A and B are shown apart, each in its own frame.
Chain A
Amino acid sequence: MSDATPAAPILSIRGLTKTYAGGFQALEPTDLDIRAGEIFALLGPNGAGKTTLIGLICGLVRPSAGTVSVAGFDHVRAYRQTRSLIGLAPQELSTDAFESVWATVRFSRALFGKPRDDAYLRRLLEDLALWEKRDSPIMALSGGMKRRVMIAKALAHEPRLLFLDEPSAGVDVELRREMWALVRRLRQSGVTIVLTTHYIEEAEDLADRVGVIARGRLILVDDKAALMRRMGQREISLELAAPVAALPQDLADLPLELTGEGRRLVYAFDSRGEGASVSALIRRLSDSGLEVRDLETRETSLEDIFVGLVGAPR
């Protein structure tokens, strides 16, 4: 959706760096623009620097160098403006266990200096399926509900830019789907969303753009679709009726690989559709005397791209 009209960035990061006191560089100098209205997924393995990057933007971590501006405001000099525009739902479920849901969202709104607005907070809690639980102490809620309380707190002051750090960590599959639906609804309401995840599925399902981060380095940022188009490959795996010792000489021009003790041929081609069609391939195989018993096609997922970029998981 953001392909056609790149909106002005709501968040602009230049040369942002973090080296912790022990000398560990958690984030190499990083430039990043987040467009207003998009869902941006920051994808990376644990310890890649995702939470450090978010902490730097939100004021939880002191930058070693670099600048952050939110809607044109510098996040150090004009911290009141930038923080008012930002909502943060951190990864850890840190809540005031004895407070009720209602008290905690009211506190969050007041802390950000917003005038009391019970109608807004009621809509917010209803949206997050928390209204029925408004009088429950937070400690009595399930993990999924606590996660939603964190999001409700982050949204209590009506931010324009929402950071969700690992929103589906520790959430079961069904709740994860609900969480994704919620994120989409939020975007529809005009909130820009930056989420971190190490679930590729999540980035693939939700994001307009994806940033891949590993070992403190933002390796690449691209539209999800473009990323997959650029790097996406299709594979056809063909099972042969009878095993062969080697590929026939007249098929040498095709990108074929013989595996499975001569029973399987893997054919890789660009997903943009250039190259031979499947029927032409099978015809050429049968011309060479190979009979295909079964075939399977597969599209490389973001996961393959990710593993290719980041390297094998440690």
Chain B
Amino acid sequence: MNPGGALAIYRFEMSRWFRTLTQSLLAPVISTTLYFVVFGSAIGSRMTAIDGVSYAAFIVPGLTMLSILTESVGNASFGIHMPKWSGTIYELLSAPVAWWEATAGYVGAAATKSVLLGAIILLTARLFVAYPLAHPLMMAGFMVLTAVTFSLFGFVIGVWAEGWERLQIVPTLILTPLTFLGGSFYSISMLPQPWREVSLFNPVVYLISAFRWAFFDRADVSVAASLAATAGFMAASLILIWRIFATGYKLKP
């Protein structure tokens, strides 16, 4: 066992982030503010309340989830893609570090950043709208679970991608549409049939629904189904990473 190795990777990744702390923190604060100006104040004032929740408050969980998903995938894929690209990965591959220790280091750091960002976004949103928080512990739990799951997924993308362009393909072509169509800005119950049924195939629906439940105690789909979907996706990502290291896929010729 080499917990020190995992910790070294975690610290390395975090220090890279802290070097650019201002922009790391400023960017989400600015984008959240923009969302609230546009959707919360300008458009939101003309929208009716959804399930008794004002529209400005309603979009808080979806908006936070949107950032957590993109940041998790972005951070984790960049974290492992960078050494692959620069060649410094030789050190990781020649070190007495098991696959799960390397994963813990990279994914742990990426998830930590996303959770911190999520917290900052929630705090910023609080300046604009006084949203309720029905299940604070469950909210934190879902946030961490989502951050870890999508950091694992991002890690897979970072290993798979052979260039910086391909690193962007999955987030742009799959993740962003899924997130926007996953109910970030609306409840899927607002959709006409058959789109409501179609939406149930979108895994992001489950994440946002459960996260929103933690705030407003109301969900589009059951919380148990959300947990199961997230856990399933996490297990799939973990198995992929395990196979990647076992076979050396795109890491070792």
Contacts and interface: CB of A to CB of B under 8 A. Distances in A.
Contact of B94 (A60, A62, A95): A60
Interface string B1-28: 0111101110110011001000000000
Contact of B19 (A21, A80, A98, A107): A98
Given A110-B4, A112-B5, A88 B252 contact: no
Interface of A: 20-21, 55, 58-62, 79-81, 83-84, 86, 88, 90, 92, 94-98, 103, 107-108, 110-115, 153
Q: What 6 pairs between A and B have smallest CB-CB spacing?
A: A94-B87, A110-B8, A113-B2, A80-B96, A83-B96, A58-B94
A153 B19 CA distance: 22
B239 interface: no
A111 B95 contact: yes
16 contacts: A20-B253, A55-B253, A59-B94, A60-B93, A61-B252, A94-B86, A94-B87, A95-B86, A98-B19, A107-B8, A110-B8, A111-B4, A111-B92, A111-B97, A112-B2, A115-B4
Contacts of B88: 94-96
Given A62-B253, A112-B5, A113-B4, A94 B90 contact: yes
B232 interface: no
Interface in B98-142: 98
Given A84-B96, A86-B94, A96 B86 contact: yes
Contacts of B91: 88, 108, 111, 153
B90 A88 contact: yes
Contacts of A61: 252-253
Contacts of B15: 103
Contacts of A84: 96
Given A80-B96, A111-B91, 17 more contacts: A55-B253, A58-B94, A59-B93, A59-B94, A60-B90, A60-B93, A61-B252, A83-B95, A84-B96, A88-B94, A94-B88, A96-B86, A98-B16, A110-B8, A111-B92, A113-B2, A114-B4
A247 to B, nearest CB: 57
A95 to B, nearest CB: 7
B248 interface: yes
Contacts of B96: 79-81, 83-84, 112-113
Given A20-B253, A83-B96, A112-B95, A90 B5 contact: no
A61 B9 CA distance: 22
A81 B253 CA distance: 23
Nearest to B247: A62
Contact of B8 (A20, A79, A111): A111
A110 B9 CA distance: 9
Contacts of A95: 86, 88
A57 to B, nearest CB: 9
Contacts of B8: 107, 110-111
Contact of A110 (B7, B19, B87, B90): B7
Contacts of B2: 80, 112-113
Interface centre among A94, A96, A113 (most CB of B within 10 A): A113
B85 to A, nearest CB: 10
A114 B93 CA distance: 17
A206 B148 CA distance: 51
A92 B97 contact: no
Contacts of A96: 86, 88
A111 B5 contact: yes
Nearest to A84: B96
A170 to B, nearest CB: 15
Nearest to B102: A111
Nearest to B82: A96
Contact of A92 (B3, B5, B11, B87): B87
Interface in B154-169: none
Contacts of A108: 91
